[in-house]
Structures are given as C-alpha cells and as structure tokens.
Structure 1
Amino acid sequence: MLKTIGGAGLLLAGGAGVASAKPPRDGPTIVNIASGDDRFDILVAAVVAAELDGALSGNRQLTVFAPTDDSFVTLFSELAEDDLDEDDVLDAIESGNLPGGLTLADVVNILLYHVVPGRRTAQSVLPVSKLPTLNGAKIGVDGPELNDGQANIVGTDLVASNGVIHVINGVLQP
C-alpha cells in the first residue's frame, strides 16, 4: 500500500518498499495493538477508512499519539452540534457521512498529525518541546500536555513491533 499525503508531498508506505525501513520486530504492530484495545475502536475505524492501516502495520518505526474513543465522540459531537455516542461516530466514519464539513482528506490529515516518525518512548517525548508529525506540522509538548491543552498523555509506552503508542485524551487539531 502506498499513500501520498496532500500538498506536503509526504509518503507513507507499508510493507517492504521503504528503503529506510528496518526489518520488522516480532510481535503485534501498532494496528494490531490498537485493534485489540477497546479504547481505540473509533481510531481503528478512522485509520481503516483513511486507508492508513497498511502503513501503520508496516516496517517503519512510528510513534502514535492515540486518541481514545471518548476523544472522538467529543470532537464529532462538537462538529455535529449534537450529543453523539460511540456508535454514531463509528457509523459516520464508516459511511463517510462526516459532521461539520469534515472530509476524508481532513481525517487523513488529522490522523497523520498524531503520528511521529521513529520509536519514541515517553522518556524521549516528554523532554521535547516540539515533535514533527507525518502531516508536516509539529505537535507542541509540555510534559504530558500536548498543543496547549488540546490533549494530555494519559497512558504511555504501548510497545509494538513497529513503534510505540501513547494514549491521549483529546483529538489534536493541526
């Protein structure tokens, strides 16, 4: 799978086609871990809808700041100006009927804003003030707080064969 990301000219590749990719380590991938964790049902649905699941299952080492389902419900409720639940958000993502003028391209951009190149444990994230993301923008870091309070890191170091997941309690806006 190959996915070109908008005007930023970034390329996400899954599988063996990446020159800089390291051989996969044993164990579950980022997508496997997220799929097996009931806090990330909406995130996984969004990743699949955006066709990023292959890239997040590939060999490239990545760090994902993973918003919980509650985070997506809050965002989608604000966009829809309605009180939505998890099933409503899953239906919106799977049907492509996104609230507030949100498009699939927006979803891709938002998801890539949650992914940082390289394997970064909490120990290497927390002391940094800015982290580059795969959408070309940077995430601001101030201890466990991201982007001036858009989200906080509430769980760290879910280690995958192709990177690390940190759990966050909000959806970051690029």
Structure 2
Amino acid sequence: MKTRNIKNLVCIAVVVLALSSCKDQAKKDADKKAMEEKISMEESNMKAEEAKVKEETKKKEMMATSIAAVASNNEELSTLVSALKAADLDKMLSEPGSYTVFAPSNNAFEKLPKKMSIAELGKPDNKELLTQVLQYHVVSGVITSDKLVEAIKGANGKYTFTTVGGKDLTASLNGDKIVLKDEKGNKTEVVLGNVKASNGVVHVINDVLIMK
C-alpha cells in the first residue's frame, strides 16, 4: 500500500511537472508570436513611412518642374501666371497630370481690348470668365509640336481639337510655323514650342485665344 502511494505521488508529480512544462512552453510560444507580430508591424509601419516620404519627395520634385513652375520661371509669362492664380488654376497645373498649354506671352495680354484686359478679367466678379478664357488654352494630354504638325498634315491642313473647357481650336501651318485659330476666327502663331514640364508641355503663343 505504501509503495502504491509513493507511485501515485510520483505520477502526480510527473503530471504536475508536465503540465507546468506545457504551460511554460505555451507562454514561450505566445511571447515569441507576440514579438514576431510586433516586429512585423514595426517593419510594415517603417515601409509605409518610407513609401510616404518617397511619394512626397517625388511630388515635390514634380511640382518644381510642373507647367505652373515652368511658367513662373519665365518672365515673359508673368501675366499668365498671375491670371492662373486669380482663377485658381495654378494648382491644377502644379499637380500630376497630362496637359498641353498654349501660353500667351505678356505681350499677348497687352493686345487685349480694355474690357478683356487682365486688369478687368482679374476682378472677382469676372473670375468665371477668366477661368473660361484660360481653360481655352489648355488641352488634355501631351501634344508636342511634332505630333501637332503630323495631325495637321493628316487632316488635310486643318486639325481641330477640343480644350478642357469644351471649346474647339483649329491648327494649321504657315510655312514651318504652327498657327492656331480660335472660335472668333482670330489667328496666332506658336513662337516657342515644346517647353517640357513634368505634367505636360507648353507652347508659347503671341495672342490670347478667344472663344465665342
């Protein structure tokens, strides 16, 4: 009887030790898993932060060479830049996208009649009209001079395309010069083409285009 009791005690002790050992192992496994999950989460957060910084850097670099920035760095386009800011269109031309801008020079704005002068268009009451005028100079997508010449020739000398404002422009050639005709029938020449930007291309023209 005494021997049996001893055996039972031994068995109980073994069971207790086994259970204790299992609990310790389970705790170790749980701690290990928790640590692995913490490390994984920290790595994910680090990668997300790195991606965010990379994206912000890329955006800043893009904005520094955007159409709005290119125009701001050209003294001959200072009036256009002021007009874009007044119409709140400078942001659109600073952000990622794909645009072709026919940019009137300062001299082009000086040719406008008084009622259409930048001083008049820049007034708060005329913001909608100013926006429409400026949108008449912007086309979605990148159209380089070569592409435009090719399109003109492919359309038997006259190529019509639509601006972001929903109005049409017609391009033709005068010798090796690209000529644009607005809806009023006025014509202007591209005096400087293919000014590249991160979100498109700029062609400087010597008149302001007017829609009907």
Q: Secondary structure at 2:93's aligned position in 1?
A: helix
Distance 1:66 1:73 in 2: 14
- Deviation readout 1:140-172 (Å, 9 max, x if unpaired): 101211115421111100000000000100000
Structure holding more strand per residue: 1
Scaled by the length of structure 2, the TM-score of the pair is: 0.59
- Deviation readout 1:78-124 (Å, 9 max, x if unpaired): 2349xx8xxxx4x5565x17xxxx82111100100100100111011
Q: Which is greater in Rg? A: 2
Identity %: 30
- Is 2:182 the counterpart of 1:145? no
1:104 maps to what in 2? Answer: 127
1:52 maps to what in 2? Answer: 89
2:162 maps to what in 1? Answer: 132
1:15 maps to what in 2? Answer: none
* Shift in alpha-carbon separation, 1:142–1:149, aligned structure 2, 3 A: farther
Relative contact order (C-alpha < 8 Å, sep 6+): which is higher? 1
Distance 1:168 1:71 in 2: 8
- Is 2:111 the counterpart of 1:79? no
Q: Secondary structure at 2:111's aligned position in 1?
A: helix
Distance 1:130 1:156 in 2: 18
* Shift in alpha-carbon separation, 1:44–1:160, aligned structure 2, 3 A: same
User: Which structure 1 segments of 5+ residues have no match?
Assistant: 1-22
Q: How many residues get paired?
A: 138
Query: Structure 1 segments of 4 or more deviating over 2 A?
Result: 23-27, 91-94
1:113 maps to what in 2? Answer: 136
* Shift in alpha-carbon separation, 1:110–1:65, aligned structure 2, 3 A: same
Structure holding more helix per residue: 2
Distance 2:131 2:192 in 1: 23
Distance 2:142 2:180 in 1: 18
- Please report the RMSD computed on the Cα atoms of aligned residues, expressed in angstroms: 2.3
Distance 2:165 2:115 in 1: 25
